[in-house]
Amino acid sequence: MMPWYTFTPILPSCDPQDPANYTLLGDTPPESSESKLFVGAIQADDNAGLPHIDIMLRMEISNALELEIDTINVRLDDCNKCAN
Mean pLDDT of the chain: 94
CA distances from 56 to 8, 19, 37, 44 (A): 21, 14, 20, 11
β-bridge pairing 50-51 and 38-43: unpaired
State the pLDDT at residue 84: 59
Average pLDDT in the 30-38 region? Answer: 87
Q: Which range, of 14-18, 33-37, 39-43, averages the lowest pLDDT?
A: 33-37
Q: Residue 14: what residue type? A: C
Render pLDDT for 40-66 as a digit per residue (tens, 0 to 9). Answer: 999 999 999 999 999 999 999 999 999
